Amino acid sequence: MPLTRISLRAGKPAEYRQALSAGIQRSLVDTFNVPRDDVFMLITEHTSDNMIYDRQYMNIERGDDFVAIQLTVSNTRTVEQKKALYRRIVDELGQSPGVRPEDVFINLVEVEKENWSFGNGLCQYGTRSAE
C-alpha cells in the first residue's frame, strides 16, 4: 500500500528511473512485507534550479545525483523495520543504478489505514474484514 514519490534531477535515462523504482520496490517487499504487485510510484524530474537541497547538511556530502524518496505508508511498522528499509534502499540503489548513499534522502510519512482508497470510492482498509 505504499505511495512512493521519487524526485531527481532531470536528464537521467528511462533505465535509470526504472532501476530506482525497482530497487525501492524490492526493499519494500523485503523489509515492509509489501506485496510484489502493490506498486504505486510517481517519478518527478526537476531542473537544477528546482532541485534545492543543502549539499552538506548533517555533514553528508551530497552531489548532483541527489534523489529524494518520499514513502507514504500505513503506520504499522516498527523502528527496526524502518531502519532496515532505509539501509536496504541505499544498498539496492547503490547496486543499480549506482546512486551513492550520500545522495539518497528518504522521508517516511505514516498514515492511518483508513486513509487509503485504492479505487471505486471505497475505503478498502476501513473495516476489520478487509485487513
pLDDT at 105 over 70: yes
Residue 2 among the catalytic residues: yes
Where in the chain are the domains?
Answer: 3-130
pTM of the predicted protein model: 0.92
Q: C-alpha cell of 9?
A: 534531477
pLDDT at 8: 98
Choosing from 2, 13, 97, 101, the catalytic residue is: 2
Please answer whether residues 43 and 79 qualify as being in contact, where contact means their C-beta atoms are separated by less than 8 angstroms: no
Domain at 3-130, CATH from 3.40.50.10860, 3.40.50.800, 3.30.429.10, 3.40.50.720: 3.30.429.10
Torsion angle defined by CA atoms of residues 37, 3, 52 and 8, in that order, rounded to the nearest 10 degrees:
10
Quick: pLDDT tens for 38-86.
999 999 999 999 999 999 999 999 999 999 999 999 999 999 999 999 9
What is the mean predicted confidence (pLDDT) over 3-16? 98
Q: How far apart are CA 105 and CA 85, in angstroms?
A: 12
Q: C-alpha cell of 40?
A: 504505486
pLDDT at 1: 80
The confidence band for 130, taking pLDDT boundaries of 50, 70 and 90, is: very low
Closest CA to 102 of 45, 59, 39: 59
